[in-house]
Structure 1
Amino acid sequence: MNRPLVITDCDEVLMHMVVPFAEWVDAEHGVLFRIEDASFAGALKRKECGTPLEASEVWPLLDAFFRKEMGRQYPIAGALTAMAAIGAQADIVVLTNVGPEHQAARVEQLALHDFHAPVIGSRGGKGEPVRRLIEEYKPSVAVFIDDLPGHHTSVAQEAPDVWRLHLVGEPAIADKIAPARHAHARIDDWTEARDWILARLAENIPAPSPALAEKD
């Protein structure tokens, strides 16, 4: 029988992102990032006048951060210790929406913290890449971890047998993001999350499929 598989996001699950990003755009670009939720829409404003940045200005800042400033990121409390325990029981793949162009840098970033796992830099909904991973690994059981509710809906549609854990490891935004409707659990503490994941691996049964009438 093949090993279990855990597919995890990185930003706000394994590594802090919005706080280091906010500090960087403030110091280097004169831009304030008001952390109200996980969306960047309308959250970036010029310090001098308070004018929101245009959508066309946001991605270049994110791209520059991931190209040059990933060293500012630091691990979520307990995340990498939990991953070490989980890795003894399962294969781990990091599925991150930084895009293919930043995939190698993400591998290097995590390796600096002694975390070594395959990394996939994707774009858009994560349901399809999760389904492809399930087809590739053929795991005995699989768990998906992400901070964004929409990805849980996407995975529920494309790979409904995968257990889905909604985890927001950044305290600055955790209380601003409602639990994902299509996740099986919402846990923001990595000690508790580790125990929940290990329990799913030990049970070794497919996840129950939720109704998908409502989308996040």
Structure 2
Amino acid sequence: MSRPLIISDCDEVLLHMVAHFKEWLEESQGVDFNLDGANFGEALRWQETGELLEASDVWKMLGGFFDTEMGRQKPIDGAVEAINTLSEYADVVILTNLVDERRDMRAEQLEAVGIKAPVFTNQGPKGPALEKIIAEFQPSRAAFIDDLPQHHHSVAETAPHVVRLHMCGEPLIAGAIDCAHKAGHADARIDRWSEALPWLMNKLEGIPA
């Protein structure tokens, strides 16, 4: 019999990203990062002029961060322990929105903090990529974890049988992110691993935490 499957995002679910991105921008790139609401594109301003960065410059900054600064990213509290506990009962894979060339870097980054799992890269909505993973693993049950509501919407449309947990473990942005659970696209919104682990264990197999 096939095992259950956990399909987890990385940034803001397993590893902090925005907090370290903000530090790097303000320390070395001459950019201030202030997220007021959920619009990431309006969060970055040049320190010298106060002007918003063009979208192309925002993407350039993100690329620069992932090319050179992934070593800054620290685990979300409880994430490593929770994922490793889940891996005793389920297969665990990472579905991360990075360009394919950064897949090995992400896998090495996660292994360095104690998470060893296959990494799948993706660009755009995650529903179609998740469908392919489900087809490959043929799990008895599956759960999807992500911090962004649009990905829960995508998965809800393409694989509605998959349990969906909306989680954002980064307090800096958690309050600014629309809740996929309230929108009807996720089964729950839980931002702490101490609460998410027993919820996931129960959803997967009724396993007591």
* Residue in structure 2 matched with residue 117 of structure 1 by the alignment: 117
> Is the Cα contact below 8 Å between 1:38 and 1:148 reproduced in 2?
no
Amino acid at match of 1:147: D
User: 1:203 deviation in Å?
Assistant: 3.9
Structure 2 CA distance for aligned equivalents of residues 37 and 67 of structure 1? 27
* Residue in structure 2 matched with residue 208 of structure 1 by the alignment: none
* Residue in structure 1 matched with residue 36 of structure 2 by the alignment: 36
Amino acid at match of 1:143: A
Amino acid at match of 1:199: N
Amino acid at match of 1:34: N
2:201 to 173, 198, 203: 198
> Is the Cα contact below 8 Å between 1:126 and 1:155 reproduced in 2?
yes
> Is the Cα contact below 8 Å between 1:164 and 1:184 reproduced in 2?
yes
* Residue in structure 2 matched with residue 85 of structure 1 by the alignment: 85
Rate the CA distance shift 1:149–1:82 in 2: closer, same or farther, 3 A.
same
Which structure 2 residues correspond to residues 169-188 of structure 1 after superposition, within 5 A? 169-180=169-180, 181=183, 182-188=185-191
Structure 1 CA distance for aligned equivalents of residues 162 and 53 of structure 2? 38
Deviates more, 1:160-169 or 1:32-41: 32-41
Structure 1 CA distance for aligned equivalents of residues 40 and 178 of structure 2? 17
Matched, 1:2 2:5: no
Structure 2: give runs of 5+ residues left out of the alignment: none
> Is the Cα contact below 8 Å between 2:14 and 2:76 reproduced in 1?
yes
Residue by residue, what CA displacement relative to the aligned partner does 1:131-185 show, whole Å, maximum 9, x if unpaired? Answer: 1111111100000000000000000111111000000000111112231020000
* Residue in structure 2 matched with residue 162 of structure 1 by the alignment: 162
* Residue in structure 2 matched with residue 57 of structure 1 by the alignment: 57
Structure 2 CA distance for aligned equivalents of residues 163 and 72 of structure 1? 31
Amino acid at match of 2:74: Y
Which structure 2 residues correspond to residues 92-107 of structure 1 after superposition, within 5 A? 92-107=92-107
Q: Secondary structure at the match of 2:27?
A: helix
* Residue in structure 1 matched with residue 192 of structure 2 by the alignment: 189
Structure 1 CA distance for aligned equivalents of residues 85 and 104 of structure 2? 24
Q: Stretches of 4+ moved more than 6 A in 1?
A: none
User: 1:38 deviation in Å?
Assistant: 5.1
Structure 2 CA distance for aligned equivalents of residues 103 and 135 of structure 1? 20
- Aligned residues with identical type, % of pairs: 50
Q: Secondary structure at the match of 1:60?
A: helix
> Is the Cα contact below 8 Å between 2:35 and 2:42 reproduced in 1?
no
* Residue in structure 2 matched with residue 23 of structure 1 by the alignment: 23
Structure 1: give runs of 5+ residues left out of the alignment: 205-216
Amino acid at match of 1:29: Q
Amino acid at match of 1:22: K
